[in-house]
Amino acid sequence: MIKLRHLLTILPIFVAFLIQAQETGSFTDPRDQQEYKTVTIDILLEGDVTVKRTWMAQNLNYEVPESFCYKNEPAYCEAYGRLYTFKAAVEACPEGWHVPTISEWNLLFRTYGGIHEAGIALQRGGKSGMELAPGGFGDPGNVFKNIGISGNYWDSEKKSDNTSGLISVQKGSKEIFHSVIGDWHRNSCRCIKDY
């Protein structure tokens, strides 16, 4: 049985480790001078190997063809970033950054409890610092849905030439959903730094 005084000795060390497990920063996109918050997270791999991965902690908001503001209202781009077709998302990530793979997303989820538990930690106000935002989605018919309800993010998994992976989080839910949809849909993008 651990004595209280031993626990009090260990606790500050554990808390210090958690604080050091992620670092916040910023990145200024040289193309339009837009500044994005970033978070660098220590990812534990098998065999006690730790790697650092730096993610944008805000939705991408760089305008390229086939990128849209929710309901075509610029105020939504300011609050939630742009919505992109898959092709546009790939083009929009700045040099030195890329659309995350499903493996990169999965390592992030595992760090915060797995796909069935990590949702709250990754959303705005969560302990990860990722601040995933419920920017909704759009389709080619110019229909936009779920602003403030769900955040939908591309991953670069390809099941066919015209489909890509999608990560979805629901506001207030710990569950994370993964699916594959048509590249022409309009979703948010988080870029991860090349390593």
**Of 151, 173, 48, the residue nearest 105 (C-alpha):** 151
pLDDT at 161 over 50: yes
pLDDT at 4 over 50: no
Pairing relation of β-strands 163-170 and 176-182? antiparallel
Distance CA 63, CA 142 (A): 17
pLDDT digits (tens, 9 = 90+) for 175-189: 999 999 999 999 999
At 63 the three-state DSSP class reads coil
Task: Specify the DSSP class assigned to residue 186.
Answer: B
156 within a domain of the structure (yes/no): yes
**One-letter-per-residue 3-state SS of 67-113:** EECHHHCHHHHHHHCCEECHHHHHHHCCCCEECCCHHHHHHHHHHCC
139 within a domain of the structure (yes/no): yes
pLDDT reported for residue 46 = 84
49 within a domain of the structure (yes/no): no
Q: Please give the tally of structural domains in the chain.
A: 1
- What is the model's pTM? 0.87
14 within a domain of the structure (yes/no): no
- Work out the pLDDT band at 33, boundaries 50, 70, 90: very high
Q: Give me the amino acid identity at 53.
A: R
Q: What is the mean pLDDT of residues 29-49?
A: 94
150 within a domain of the structure (yes/no): yes
Distance CA 127, CA 190 (A): 18
104 within a domain of the structure (yes/no): yes
* Ramachandran angles phi, psi of 142, nearest 5°: 65, 30
21 within a domain of the structure (yes/no): no
Q: What is the mean pLDDT of residues 131-149?
A: 96
Beta bridge partners of 91: none
119 within a domain of the structure (yes/no): yes
Question: What DSSP assignment string belongs to 109-157?
Answer: HHHTT-TTT-HHHHBTT-TTS--B--EEEE-TTS-EEEETTEEEEEEEE
Distance CA 195, CA 192 (A): 9
At 1 the three-state DSSP class reads coil
Mean per-residue pLDDT of the chain: 91
| Domain ranges, residue 185 | 56-193
Q: What is the mean pLDDT of residues 18-45?
A: 89
